[in-house]
Amino acid sequence: MGVGLCAIALFLSHTALAANGPTAQGAHNFFQLLADKHLLRGSKDRYIQNYKAQGECISIWEDIDGKNDGEIRHIEVDWSSITSALNMKGAGGDYGDSVTFFGSVIFETTERKEHRNGFRLYAVDGVTRDRIYKAGEFLRTQCDTLSATGF
């Protein structure tokens, strides 16, 4: 619990986002777990995508749209690294789902994908690269913690 609170405090100090509390109605189990831990709020099931994230829990992909403009398009999470710890499998979602960090939407799903070993979150227009990286690092920390503790 202490580690979680420290992570939350660190996240808030780096992003200056206001905490609105967890209300992840209909969220996927993994996101619901994060919401219950006051880490993340979401709307519906997440898209699951077949990316391994190179052995890490979180992988931040740049220039995925092929425009070579340095824009971060999405963050992908390796489901296999946390599935056993959380005792669950991935599920698909609906077009336009969003992910909210402490009341500020920064990611959304923008197209349907087959669900496999991970999920994809696309950056919302106007979100800065720095903020996306910080959010990704925050999620990576939480995934590593969940995997290590089996929670």
- Please report where in the chains the tokens 């799903």 appear, as a residue: 109
pTM of the complete model beyond 0.75:
no
The C-alpha atoms of residue 95 and residue 47 are separated, in whole angstroms, by: 9
Q: What is the pLDDT of residue 131?
A: 60
Write out pLDDT tens, residues 103-129: 444 444 444 343 333 444 455 555 555
pLDDT bin (cut points 50, 70, 90) of residue 63 is very low
Q: What is the pLDDT of residue 61?
A: 44
The C-alpha atoms of residue 151 and residue 133 are separated, in whole angstroms, by: 25
Nearest to 27 by CA among 111, 134, 121: 121
Contact between 86 and 101 under an 8 Å Cβ cutoff? The reply is no
Angle at 128 between CA 28 and CA 113, to 5 degrees: 35
Proportion of the chain above pLDDT 70, given as a percent: 0
